[in-house]
Amino acid sequence: MIALLTDFGPSAYVGVIKGVIYRHHPQARVIDICHDIRPFAVREGAWLLLTAYRYFPKGTVFLAVVDPGVGSERQLLAVATRNYYFVGPDNGLLYPAADADGITAIVSIERPPGAARTFEARDVFAPAAAKLDRGIPISALGPPACMAHHLQFYRQDREGEVVYVDRFGNIITNLPPHPGSSYYQVTAGAFRTKLPHYPTYAAAPPGKVFLVTGSAGTLEISLRNASVAEMLPLEPGTRISIVPCQDIRGEVTTGVTNPGS
């Protein structure tokens, strides 16, 4: 199985990549993880790959392309881990997922003659992914290499970062919940407020901003049946602290006015 994750959106590029895969491996099974990552948002793509890969069968080849440096001299990588393969640019995109599963081998993919510098997903990564899925050893794709970019998501105790805003407008962080806590002090730059934690989206009262533990096991700022991202100035990459507190009495908000009121 080959799983695709890109920032290509609804363009023809995705179809072309699939065509190349099937040309090299007609029996391949190709699955789309996501193609609507914000253009050039490497950290966003890395988070989605990190939170998705473990749900796929062992042996899956992940072809991931979010590549602001396309055509540059950065490495073109194929990575073997304990259970999977990852193919993509050496810009940090692959590292969190590959590291989490345990890296066993890395090679620098040799560029085929005539490969376009502007579409390496088609001419380099897709053929490499097809070969791995066919059972060709990773060592046949190129010489051993070291990954140059070790992207890591910021985390210090109860301080982390906004990693993603999903299509429903939930603001997703990389911070886990604190066991037994029902209220949290949330601080991000000028934004400061206290929010309750609910077990599900549906359990929260309409019109009130709240925290929920999302499917990735981390805290999300949410608004029931609405987009909280349209209200709060918290973009991916924003540093944020979410600290347990006793209750929401004495709520203070700076930078926005009474979220959810």
Q: What are the tens digits of pLDDT across the range 120-153?
A: 999 999 999 999 999 999 999 999 999 999 999 9
Q: What is the pLDDT of residues 98-109, one digit of tens each?
A: 999 999 999 999
Does 254 have pLDDT greater than 50?
A: no
pLDDT band at residue 180, thresholds of 50, 70 and 90?
A: confident
Indicate whether 255 pLDDT > 90.
Answer: no
pLDDT at residue 200 tops 90: yes
Per-residue confidence at 13, pLDDT binned at 50, 70, 90?
Answer: very high
Provide the pLDDT for residue 248. 60
CA distance linking residue 201 with residue 191, whole number of Å: 22
Mean pLDDT, range 195-205, rounded to an integer = 96
| Whether pLDDT at 117 is above 50 | yes
Higher pLDDT, 212 or 259: 212
| Residues 249-256, mean pLDDT to the nearest whole number | 40
pLDDT of residue 259: 42
The fold of 159-245 is Elongation Factor Tu (Ef-tu); domain 3 (2.40.30)
Share the mean pLDDT of the chain: 93
60-74 pLDDT, tens digit each: 999 999 999 998 989
Could you tell me which CATH number the domain at 2-141 has? 3.40.50.10790
pLDDT > 50? residue 110: yes
Residue ranges of the domains in the chain? 2-141, 159-245
